[in-house]
Amino acid sequence: MSTKLVSVVIPNFNNAIWLPACIESCLQQKSILEIIVVDDHSTDESWQVLASYKKMYPSLIKIYQNPDKGANYARNYGFEQTYGEFIQWLDSDDVLLNDKFSNQIAQLEAQGADIAYSDFRIDEYKKGGLINQTIKAYGPFEDFTEELLKDNWTCPNNYLVRRNIAVKLANGIGWNNNTKIGQDREYFTVAALLGAKFIYVEGCFAVYNRWSEGTISGMSFKRRLELNQIIEKRFKSMILESNFPEYKKKNYLRILNTHKLKACFYNPSIKVDDLFFLSEIRWDLIHYKMKVILPFVYFNQTLIFIFNKIRLCFR
């Protein structure tokens, strides 16, 4: 069995009812060094629950109050307290399944990779009761960076991260304190764009609990598109500055161009900020009904872009 040890980092806000299952799922794991929970100023019974576990496992469980406010602040602060050779990010309303660490560490070591991912399970709850369980086959993927850019999502607790990669993403580089949506997508996509090697490990080792409307889901769809464009603009800049082969850069940029054009369709206030040819999008990522409309959106956006450039020249 591997002697490599894992630090689990759990941000928590008002999840007292879910915390026991979350922590117990960590205690079931082999190769665990520490469980670090950063409470984000909860107003429920979270602190009492955490204190009781701290009393039972004083050398294993560490609890902190978030010095600031927000999940990414909590994650970044939690990482500062870690010592493990691997980092497990885990939201306090989700759980791990048995032998996650031993399986994923073994393959990370064998293949010299940086981040592991596997299949995962979605448990759906309604009014506190479990109504459905679905296992999501997730991989293997030939180009995982492409999947991340396409927003082929998996829950953050599905991954296991080597410490050296987590260090590269520390201090808000990965968990950006200003990001309001897609925080985990940004973290792992930035990791990929910085060169992290992802591998698929066969098996289902993580559970994502879908149980209620979150604060983000109350945001309008148009506003979500606007915020998502901020993240994707960052991805574009990183791709252009990367050492990826040109054919990969072009493919990745085509994915982002496609997302941009679709965002312009759904939210007319979003504008194209760089011209690209209609051939520089991924038509396979567009619903067949939208394929008829998008050329008109493209030409409209191109005219607006050119008009604004001309207007700036005469100021």
- Whether the CB-CB separation of 195 and 237 falls below 8 Å is answered with no
Q: Residues 173, 43: one domain?
A: yes
Q: Residues 223, 200: one domain?
A: no
Q: Residues 95, 38: one domain?
A: yes
Q: Residues 45, 187: one domain?
A: yes
Q: Residues 56, 205: one domain?
A: yes
Give residue for tokens 């009014």: 127
Q: What percent of the chain has pLDDT over 70?
A: 97
Q: Average pLDDT, whole number, for the chain?
A: 94
Q: Residues 143, 56: one domain?
A: yes
Average pLDDT over residues 255-277: 94
Q: Residues 227, 170: one domain?
A: no
Q: Residues 75, 105: one domain?
A: yes
Q: Residues 208, 224: one domain?
A: no
Confidence of residue 1 (pLDDT cuts 50, 70, 90): very low
- Whether the CB-CB separation of 153 and 115 falls below 8 Å is answered with no
Write the pLDDT tens digit of every residue in 40-87: 999 999 999 999 999 999 999 999 999 999 999 999 999 999 999 999
H helices of 121-182, in order, are 144-149, 163-168
Write the pLDDT tens digit of every residue in 105-160: 999 999 999 999 999 999 999 887 989 999 999 999 999 999 999 999 999 999 99
In this predicted structure, what is the pLDDT of residue 311? 77
DSSP string computed for 19-36: HHHHHHHHHT-SSEEEEE
Q: Which of 186, 216, 246 is the last residue before a domain boundary?
A: 216
Q: Which of 161, 184, 216 is the last residue before a domain boundary?
A: 216
Count structural domains, the chain: 2
Q: Can you give the pTM of this predicted structure? A: 0.94
pLDDT at 213 over 90: no
Write the pLDDT tens digit of every residue in 230-256: 999 999 999 999 999 999 999 999 999
Q: Residues 211, 226: one domain?
A: no
Q: Determine the residue type at 262.
A: K
Average pLDDT over residues 186-206: 98
Q: Which of 216, 243, 275 is the last residue before a domain boundary?
A: 216
Sequence-ordered list of residues with C-beta below 8 angstroms from that of 27, at least 6 positions apart, any chain: 35, 57, 60
